[in-house]
Every structure is written in C-alpha cells, then in structure tokens.
Structure 1
Amino acid sequence: MDFSIASILLLDGITNGAVYALLGLATVLVFSVTRVIFIPQGEFVAYGALTLAIFQAGKVPGTVWMLLIMAVLAAVMDVRLSWQHTGDVRRALKAGLITLAGPLVVSLLSIWAAPHQLPLLVQALLTVAIVTSFGPLVYRLAFQSLADASSLVLLIVSVGVHFAMTGLGLLFFGAEGFRNPSFWDERMEFGGLALTGQALIIMLTSVALIVLLYQFFSRTLYGKALQATAVNRLGARLMGISTHGAGQATFAMAALIGALSGLLIGPTTTVFYDSGFLIGLKGFVAAVMGGLQSYPLAALGALFVGLVESFGSFWASAFKEVIVFTLVLPILLWRSVAGGHSEEH
C-alpha cells in the first residue's frame, strides 16, 4: 500500500465515519431521553434516500401513504385516550386533529409536488419533512404506552419495529435499489488527493449536527429537561415536563438525523429497502463506544468504525463487516468489567 492508496482509504473512512457519527448521535439521543435502544434508526436512512429517489422519478413516494396510515392510527388512539380521560367529545376530536394535521399537510403537499419535477433541493426538503414526521408517530404507536417498561422490553419492541419498517419498506419501494444525484458535483484536488463536493457536504453536516446536539443538551434548559425524563420520569412530570412530548420530540430529532443521513449517502451508494439495517448497526457500534451517553465519544467511535471499515475492505473485503461488528465485543467486555452494574442495566 502506497501513500496515494492510503490517503484515498483515509478520506473514504472519514466520509463514511461522518455518516455513522450522525446515526451514533441519534442512537445516543434516543437512549438518553427515552431509554430505548432504537434499532430501526437505519430504516429512517433508507426511507430518506428512497423517498428522494421516487420524487426524482416523478412519482408519489410510498412513504406518503404509509405516513397517512400511521397518522390516522395515532389520531384514533389519541381520540380514544382523550375521551377516556376527559369524557369531552370536542377535546377528544381536537386531540386527534392535532395529531393528524402535520402529517396530512406534508402528505398533501408531497402528492401535489411529486409530478411537477421540482428542483432537487425542494424535493430534499419534502423528503426530510416526510421522514421526520414518522418519528413522533413511531413513538406514539409503539413506545408511548410502554414508556415505563424496562429497557429489555423496550429493546424487544424496538426489534419488532425494525422488522415492521423493513417489511413496509419492501412493500412501498420494492426490491430494486436506487442511487440519487449528488448535491454538489465539484471535485477538488489537495496534494494529489481528490475530494468531492458531496464528501465535503457530508463532513460539514456531521460536524454541524454534532456541535448543535452537544450545545443543545449541555447548555439549553429544554435539552436538560428532555434528559430528565430518562433519569426520573415521575420527577419530570412533577416539574411540569411532558414525558410523552419529550419522547415524541426526541424521535422527531432522530428521524430528522436519519433523513439527512439518507440524503447524504444516497449519491455515494445504491440504497435498497433493507440497506438501513447494516448502516444503523455501524452507528450503534459507534454509540456503544460512547457508552450510549457521550456525543463526542460516539462521534470519535464513528470515525474509528469508518476507518476500520475502509482499510478492512482493502485488506480483506469479504470480511469487512465481520471486522467492524467484532469491534463491539471487546468494548462491551471492557465496559462490563470497568463499569458499575445495576438491576436496570
């Protein structure tokens, strides 16, 4: 291996690691607020890339119909819950309309825009709006009623949600893979090393989100309030923090990160309906390196995963996935020996 090959592998590893960093941050975000190890985070990535690909074809993405179905189910659940608590028909219907309004507006706008072949940036914004809307609905339908359950129960539900979202992805997108156009086709040379505009966008977006999330949870009152719901849900309620609202807001942020990740990797690789699983697992490995609680450590772990994958694919391409996922074993062993234990863990 000479310097030119090593530099190419290094750049590729950093680019992939930047995407894994986003997914690792989303995993840490969801776990630190809701105690849910969110396995389907990668599905948001696949949904983002595939939704934009369908928009590019001038068709209405299947995620629009999926969003409407989930919104109706969530609205019915909210109407029923409000009716049970208040007995007021108007308040119950209002609760259902609030749940349904956002996804309905996004869906109608997407149905109108799909055949008009709008600019790529507008289609990307619609894609982000669609996929982000899935976050609160997934929490409402699958996790909200189990918010006080143990972490093991939440993990089992998370695995079930993953299989459901993968199956729905196959139903709405089919088995064919898609590749999206690049947002920036510029190529830059730095001492013989070629850097694409898309790779630069990926790196800058990842750094910006890492800084924003760190500042949000460490410096803002609302960020600390979100984390308080995971530490003590009853105490958070007594202090006036809506634990259900915190869960839905957290899942919305996770879905937003997943959608952005899908848009970023769409031009660099062919994405299939089940591609999100492996991508999400690599983000999970990065999150584990950060102890599922540290954003900077998760970001560093993601860069390490990206570099190991890049150089591993050069030396032993058939075993690159095995090499990456084997990394989590010594890390878990070290944390098990060095860290404390509790009944909840």
Structure 2
Amino acid sequence: MDATIASILALDGLTNGAIYALLALATVLVFAVTRVIFIPQGEFVAFGALTLALLQTGQVPGTVWFLLVLAAAVVLQDLATGLRHRQPLGRLAVQAGRTLAYPVAVSALTWWVAPMQLPLLAQAALTVALVTPFGALLYRLAYESLADATVLVLLIVSVGVHFALLGLGLFFFGAEGFRNPSFWDARFSLGALTLSGQTVIIFAASLALIGSLWLFFEKSLTGKALRATAVNRLGARLMGISSSSAGRLSFTMAAFIGALSGLLIGPTTTVFYDSGFLIGLKGFVAAVFAGLASYPLAMVGALGVGLLEAFGSFWSSPYKEVIVFSAILPILLWRSLRDPHGEEY
C-alpha cells in the first residue's frame, strides 16, 4: 500500500464515517433520553433511500401506506387506553385527529405529486417529511407504555420492532435494490484524490447537522429540557418536563437523522429493504465507543469505524464486516473495566 492508495481509502473511510457519525449521535440521543438501545435506527436510513428511489420513478412509495398504518395503529391504541380509563369521547376524538392530521396530509400530498416527478431536492424534502413522523409514532406504539421498564426489556422490544420493520419494509418496498442519483455531479481534484460532489455534500450536511444539534442542545429551552431528561428523568418530571414528550421528540429527531442519512448514502451504494441494519449497527458500534453518553466521542468513534472498514476492505474484503464488528469486543472490555457498575433493578 502506497500513500496514494492510503489517502483514497482514508477519504472513503471518512465519508462513510460521517454517515455513521449521524447515526451514532441519534443512537446516543435516544438512549440518553429514553434508555432505549434503538436497534431499528438503520431502518430509517433504508426507508429514506427507498422512498426517494420510488419517487424518482414516479410511483407512490410504500412509505405512504406504512405511515398511515402506523398512525391508525396508534389511534386504536390510544382509543383502547382511553376507553379503559373512561376518558370523554370528545377528548379521544380530538386526540385521534391530532395523531392523524399530519400523516394523512403528507400522504395525500405525496399521492398527488408523486406522478409529477418533481426536482430531486423537492423529492428529498418530501422523503424527509414522510419518514420523520415514524419516530414519534413508533415511540407511542411500542415504547411509551414501557418508559419505566428496565433497559433489558426495552432492548428486547427494540429487537422485536427491528424484525417487524424489516418484514414490513419487504412488504411495502419489495426485495429490489435501488441506487439514487447524486445531488451534485461535480468533481474536484486534490492531488491524487478526486472528490465527488456527493462526498462534499455528505461532509457539509453532516457538519451542518452536528452544528445544529449543538446549538439546539446548548441554546434552546427544548434542547435543555431534553438534556435534563437525559441526566435525571425523575428530576426532570419534578420540574414539569414531560418524559413522554421528551421521548417523542428524541425519536422524531432520530427518524429525521436516519432519513437524512438515507438520502446522503443512497447515491453511493445500492440500498435494499434490509440494508439499514448493517449501516445502523456500525453507528451503534461508534455509540458504544462513546459509552452511549458522549456526543463528541460518538463522532470520533464513527470516523474510526469508517476508517477501519475502508482499510479492512483493502486488506481482506470478505471479512471487512467481521473486522469492524470485532472491534466492539475490546471496546466493551475497556468500558467494563473503566466504568464498573452494579446491576440495574
């Protein structure tokens, strides 16, 4: 390996690492606020890429029906809970209307404009609008009633949600893979390196989102409320911060980050309905490096995972995934020795 090959591999690794950094930040955010190890984070990536791909062909994506099914399931769950607690029917109707309003509106808009084959940026915006609501709906459907359960129970639920989303993704999107067009076809030469416009967009979008998250958590009242919930859930409740609202917001942000990651990674690789699992798992490895607590360390860990994957594929391409996921073992051992803790009851 010479310097030219090493620089090309490093660029490829940093590009992928920028995507993994976004997913690692989402994983840390969700765990910090809700204690949920959110395994299905990668499914949002696949949904984002596949939704844009189907919009490119002028079809109504399966995301529309998936969103309506999830919204209807949440309404039925809320209705059953409300009737069990003898809540007024008028209040239940208002709650159902609020739950259905956005999914029905964005689905109707998609049904109307999908055959028009809008410009790529408009389709990307519509994709994000479709996928982002999945976060809050999934939280309300699967996690909200278990907010005080142990981490192990929440992890088991996450595994179940992952398999459910995988099967539904196959049903709504099919087994065919798609590769989306690049958002920018320019080429830039830096010595032996050639940067594509899509690579520049990936770095720019990742840095912009990371900066926006920093501003959100440091400067906004809502961001500080989320940080308070992450530090002490009970204390946040006593101060009037709703843990349910915090959970819904954190899952919504995770879905938004996943959808954006799908848009960014779609032009660089063929995405299938189950591709998100491996991508999300690499973000999880980076989050574990950060102890599921530190955003800066999660970003550093993600870049490290990207570089390890790139150089691992050069040394032994068939075993690159094994190399990446084996790296989690010494990290777990180091974390266990560095931060011993008692059992959770």
Shorter-chain TM range is over 0.9
Q: 1: CA distance between counterparts of 2:93 and 2:331? A: 50
Q: Which residue of 2 aligns with 1:104?
A: 104
Number of matched pairs: 345
* Identical aligned residues as a percent: 68
Q: Which residue of 2 aligns with 1:116?
A: 116
Q: Which residue of 2 aligns with 1:222?
A: 222
Cα contact 1:210–1:299 (8 A) shared by 2: no
Q: Which amino acid aligns with 1:144?
A: E
Cα contact 1:82–1:95 (8 A) shared by 2: no
Which ranges of structure 1 fall in alignment gaps of 5 or more residues?
none
Report the alpha carbon displacement of residue 342 of structure 1 after superposing the two structures with TM.
2.8
Q: 1: CA distance between counterparts of 2:320 and 2:73? A: 41
Q: Tell me if 1:50 matches 2:50.
A: yes
Q: Tell me if 1:335 matches 2:335.
A: yes
Q: How does 1:220-259 map to 2 (within 5 A)?
A: 220-259=220-259
Q: Which residue of 2 aligns with 1:65?
A: 65
Q: Which amino acid aligns with 1:7?
A: S
Q: How does 1:1-345 map to 2 (within 5 A)?
A: 1-85=1-85, 87-344=87-344
Deviates more, 1:177-186 or 1:216-225: 216-225
Report the alpha carbon displacement of residue 7 of structure 1 after superposing the two structures with TM.
1.3
Deviates more, 1:191-200 or 1:72-81: 72-81
Report the alpha carbon displacement of residue 82 of structure 1 after superposing the two structures with TM.
4.0
The two structures have a TM-score, normalised by structure 2, of 0.97
Q: 2: CA distance between counterparts of 1:281 and 1:320? A: 14
Q: 2: CA distance between counterparts of 1:227 and 1:154? A: 20
Instruction: Tell me the SS of whatever aligns to 2:176.
Output: coil
Cα contact 1:210–1:296 (8 A) shared by 2: no
Report the alpha carbon displacement of residue 86 of structure 1 after superposing the two structures with TM.
6.2
After superposition, give the CA deviation of every residue in 1:274-326 in whole Å (9 maximum; x if it has no partner): 00000000000010111111111100110010001001101110110000001
Cα contact 1:18–1:202 (8 A) shared by 2: yes
Report the alpha carbon displacement of residue 41 of structure 1 after superposing the two structures with TM.
0.3
Report the alpha carbon displacement of residue 83 of structure 1 after superposing the two structures with TM.
4.6
Q: 2: CA distance between counterparts of 1:80 and 1:338? A: 46
After superposition, give the CA deviation of every residue in 1:207-246 in whole Å (9 maximum; x if it has no partner): 1222222332244332221133344434322322111111
Instruction: Tell me the SS of whatever aligns to 2:189.
Output: strand
Instruction: Tell me the SS of whatever aligns to 1:292.
Output: coil
Q: Which amino acid aligns with 1:336?
A: S
Cα contact 1:49–1:265 (8 A) shared by 2: yes
State the Cα RMSD in Å. 1.4
Which ranges of structure 2 fall in alignment gaps of 5 or more residues?
none
Q: 1: CA distance between counterparts of 2:73 and 2:123? A: 27
Instruction: Tell me the SS of whatever aligns to 1:273.
Output: coil
Q: Which amino acid aligns with 2:178?
A: F
The two structures have a TM-score, normalised by structure 1, of 0.97
Q: 1: CA distance between counterparts of 2:47 and 2:249? A: 19
Q: 1: CA distance between counterparts of 2:195 and 2:263? A: 18
Q: 2: CA distance between counterparts of 1:192 and 1:325? A: 31
